[in-house]
Structure 1
Amino acid sequence: MTSSSHLQIPYAVVYDLEFTAWDGSMARRWLAPGEYKEVVQIGAVKVTSAFSPIERFECLVRPRLNPVLSPYLEKLTRITNAAVTARGVDFEEAYRSFVSFAGTLPVIAFGRDDLVLMDNLRLYGLHTVLRLPKVVDLRPWLIENGIDIRGMHACDVGPAAGVPFDGHTHDALADALSVASGIKALVERGAVPPVAAVPKMYP
């Protein structure tokens, strides 16, 4: 095996989600009647041990309970109802594709998007059928490496580590790439790469 091919070996998957939201829903913690965190977009990137991206995954998802996206969410994410109608798939199909993309690689996210995935599996009655990868929350690692995460979103990780953001904020794939670029920058400055055991799969 050549050194160049070795550098292309997948080491981990970094991912991010976008999900249904309304003006004020974050402050209300999605507790108003009918408000659910239904996944609208999954974005992920496979990275090498140096956290260089080598493969990308992006999928729009059609919410089941609130199929029409709010104007707030359209403005925040630039994901339109027309795009979801044209390219969106059902959550089960999107989730199966994401899990297949991740395979047995460690899975990393900024925050607890795994809880959102589990909420969707339960919401749609899929939690006894589909499995959820164990996700490593990157936030403690960022704190250990001098990043103040207060008020941060996934899209802010790259800029916090000195890497300009590329793309549209609150786009799941662009945000996942920002997280990966932030990790890469910190590792290049001497940080120990985030440790992520091979995910244990559970119902």
Structure 2
Amino acid sequence: MSTFVVFDLEFTSWSGALERDWTGPGQLREIVQIGALRISAGDSAEDHCVVEEYEALVRPVVNPRLSPYFTGLTGIDQETVDREGVAPAEALSDFLGFCQGQSVLSYGNDMIVLGENTGWARARGEEVKNGFLTAGFLNIRPWLNAVAPTTASASSGRLWEALGLPRPVAGREHSALFDCYSIAAAIRHVCAGGARLPEGCL
């Protein structure tokens, strides 16, 4: 069965960081949560269904204390990250292993943040297994906004709502796995209506 991966990241942030493009002193986009879905590919009614989930919490290194802004946005609290989070190199290695040989789609340029975090881990002397070269990363936001203009102002976690679809799973926006399900629901919806994923996705 042919499959592709949809992924989403939550990373450290502070009030106003987005507007400043994370240029505040010491403010890096350190990954705190990775969510991903492996999805069946093809043109039949049974396709674009979730085959496998991946989720990880990650302990940030430069800014190990989460900001109140980040916790309010994502619902991810310090105690949970301290208890369940893994080292960045471990999470990155596992996630890149999940992506091997797949097209890997994000709603936005999350692969840039992934690359930043991989670079920082390697600069600290940590081994990140399973490199980028075995997967094809693609930002599908321009494609989705073109085939479904009502999504243009929607975040990944609000795509289902922008398209008038049922809530895809329990959960909340800015939870990485929930946002993946929202992206997957949008892909399934527009493909059922006749759209085809952009070239290079499969």
State the secondary structure of the residue aligned to 1:44: strand
| Pairing 1:53–2:75 present | no
Does the aligned pair in 2 maintain the 1:13–1:45 contact within 8 Å?
yes
Give the equivalent residue in structure 1 for 2:153: 151
Structure 2 gap ranges (5+) = 42-46
C-alpha distance in 1 between matches for 2:201 and 2:153:
28
Please point out which of 181, 191, 195 is paired with 2:185: 181
Shift in CA distance, 148/68, structure 1 to aligned 2, threshold 3 Å: same
Structure 1 gap ranges (5+) = 1-8, 199-203
Does the aligned pair in 1 maintain the 2:9–2:110 contact within 8 Å?
yes
In the TM superposition, what is the alpha-carbon distance from 1:135 to its structure 2 partner? 1.1
Task: Kindly provide the CA deviation profile for residues 162-195 of structure 1, in whole angstroms up to 9, marking residues without a partner as x.
Answer: 3233321100001011101100011111111333
In the TM superposition, what is the alpha-carbon distance from 1:101 to its structure 2 partner? 1.3
Shift in CA distance, 134/126, structure 1 to aligned 2, threshold 3 Å: farther
In the TM superposition, what is the alpha-carbon distance from 1:126 to its structure 2 partner? 5.3
Task: Kindly provide the CA deviation profile for residues 68-118 of structure 1, in whole angstroms up to 9, marking residues without a partner as x.
Answer: 100111110001111101110011100111111122111000010000011
Does the aligned pair in 2 maintain the 1:13–1:102 contact within 8 Å?
yes
More displaced stretch, 155-164 vs 67-76: 155-164
Give the equivalent residue in structure 2 for 1:162: 164
C-alpha distance in 2 between matches for 1:156 and 1:136:
20
Does the aligned pair in 2 maintain the 1:63–1:91 contact within 8 Å?
yes
Give the equivalent residue in structure 1 for 2:20: 28
| Pairing 1:72–2:76 present | no
Does the aligned pair in 1 maintain the 2:151–2:163 contact within 8 Å?
no
Give the equivalent residue in structure 2 for 1:14: 6
Give the equivalent residue in structure 2 for 1:108: 105
State the secondary structure of the residue aligned to 1:46: strand
Q: How much is the aligned-residue C-alpha RMSD, in angstroms? A: 1.9
TM-score (ref. length: structure 2): 0.87
**Matched residue type, 1:93:** E
Q: How does 1:188-203 map to 2 (within 5 A)?
A: 188-197=192-201
Does the aligned pair in 2 maintain the 1:107–1:196 contact within 8 Å?
no
| Pairing 1:43–2:40 present | no
Q: How many residues align?
A: 190
**Matched residue type, 2:110:** D
More displaced stretch, 117-126 vs 128-137: 128-137
